[in-house]
Amino acid sequence: MQRSYNEDLFESTKMTFGEHLDELRRALLKAVTALVIGVLIGLFFGRQLVDYIQTPLRKALHDHYTEVEDKEFRQYLEQRREAGMPVPENIDEAVAAYTKLGLFSEERFIDPRQVRESMGDNAPVSQNAPADAPPAYDGSLTSRDDLISVRIYHDADRDPRLQLVGLGSQEPFIAYMKAALVLGIVMSSPFVFYFIWSFIAAGLYPHEQRYVHIFLPFSVILFLAGAALAFFFAFKYVLGFLLWFYESMNIDPELRISDWLSFVLFLPLGFGISFQLPLVMLFLERIGIFTVKTYLSHWRIAVLVIAFISMVLTPAEPYSMLMMCMPLVGLYFFGIALCKWMPRRTTPFGEVID
């Protein structure tokens, strides 16, 4: 026998409008207090967070400039071979060995007369040197032919091109405050949700509270899964494509910390929100807007809508769109399965739904 909920059972828990407002004020005050405490804690770890979220960008820049360096080193060896100068027998092996050293190089020009003067008596003397002494260095430079080209090497990890730049005096401080705010929101979100839920739960029926206890953790898991997919996987392909476009346009990337911080926060947020799709489908089925039959018969339109949403919530490049679109298509059919597993059978008062 199904149990019917009588309004008289909840008579003792009813509150006036003023009491509801007072209860809401207390819940919001607790939520704001938790948020402030979270931000204060975030201020102590803001610098570490800013450094950490640069990790995928630095790796992408390192891979980008390593590829550029390999091409330049190969061209350097081929130019030496064309000039009749000694080069390794296998250029491919030489380039691979150079890559493993983790070095970047740059071409510079020096005046041998200045070097000879600076070294003085310590300057090396060639056995084939002409008898006449070379002219003394007088500080003048009249021709590029007076210079010789040398390759200077430095550690790839210390290359200044791998560092983000700030173009405004307040930019580092703003980046630090943004990181602290985001970290504070993440740390305080369980408490904020709890206080808000405590206020809402007072007005729900017991069976409705049971559903929320199930769906709320499920929603958090889906959000974190989407954000993790964006940060640990999508960024690699997105940055690879964008940096490849820099190279194809022959433009050197000089990325700002503020732009990157906004980007690294926006993309995981878009992924996390979009991953709520199964719960949204279940909610719409619960309130009678759609049915399982409707979801199945219109799946092609749903895929088209998912592709459009993925285009809106991701940057203007194909990789992130595909990495959001493909999981969402799978989550769409997972949402259909949820609706089948947990069908809507009764109203809040226990009445059977046909």
Does residue 133 lie within any of the structural domains? no
Backbone φ, ψ for residue 109 (5° rounding): -115, 140
Show which of 113, 132, 162 is a domain's final residue: 162
pLDDT interval class at 9 (50, 70, 90)? very low
CB 23 within 8 A of CB 13: no
Q: Does 156 share its domain with 187?
A: no
pLDDT tens digits for range 274-292: 888 888 888 788 777 888 8
Same domain, yes or no: 300 and 197: yes
Residue 134 within any structural domain of the chain: no
Higher pLDDT: 116 or 69? It is 69
Task: State residue 241's pLDDT score.
Answer: 83
Tokens found for residue 136: 């003394």
Closest CA to 267 of 220, 232, 240, 302: 232
The reply to whether 41 and 73 lie within a common domain is no
204-247, pLDDT tens digit by residue? 666 666 766 777 788 778 888 888 888 888 888 888 888 888 88
Exposure on the CB side of residue 325, measured as CA atoms within 13 A = 18
Residues 31 and 77 placed together within one structural domain of the fold: no
Mean pLDDT (the chain) is 80
Distance of alpha carbon 111 from alpha carbon 139, whole angstroms? 10
Question: pLDDT: is 8 or 339 the higher one?
Answer: 339
| Residues 6+ away with beta carbon under 8 Å from 214 | none
Q: Are residues 182 and 201 in the same domain?
A: yes
Clarify whether residues 305 and 206 are in a common domain.
yes
Based on the domain organization, do 52 and 62 belong to the same domain?
no
Give the pLDDT of residue 8.
Answer: 47
100 within some domain: yes
End-to-end CA distance of the chain, in Å?
17
Pairing of strands 148-155, 103-110: antiparallel
Rounded to an integer, what distance in angstroms lies between the CA atom of residue 184 and that of residue 186?
A: 5
Mean pLDDT within 52-70: 87
**What is residue 331's predicted lDDT score, i.e. its pLDDT?**
92
Confidence (pLDDT) at 236: 81
The pLDDT score that the predictor gives to residue 345 is: 55
- Could you tell me the pLDDT band of residue 174, with boundaries at 50, 70 and 90? confident
- Residue range 127-147: average pLDDT? 68
Q: Are residues 41 and 185 in the same domain?
A: yes
If asked whether residues 202 and 317 sit together in one domain, one would say: yes
Residues 21 and 105 in one domain: no
Q: Tell me if 129 is assigned to some domain.
A: no
Same domain (yes/no): 50, 174:
yes
H-helix segments, 202-256: 206-229, 235-248
Greater model confidence, 128 or 59: 59
Boundary of a domain, candidates 130, 162, 194 = 162
Q: Is residue 319 part of a domain?
A: yes
If one compares 124 and 274, the residue with the highest pLDDT of the two is 274
**Within a domain: 10:** no
Number of domains into which the chain is organized:
2
- 221 vs 6, residue with greater confidence: 221
Per-residue confidence (pLDDT) for residue 304, from 0 to 100 = 93
Look at residues 114, 133, 162 and tell me which one is the last residue of a structural domain. 162
Query: 149 with 231, same domain?
Result: no
* Residue 311 domain-assigned (yes or no): yes
For residue 61, what are the domain limits? 57-122+145-162
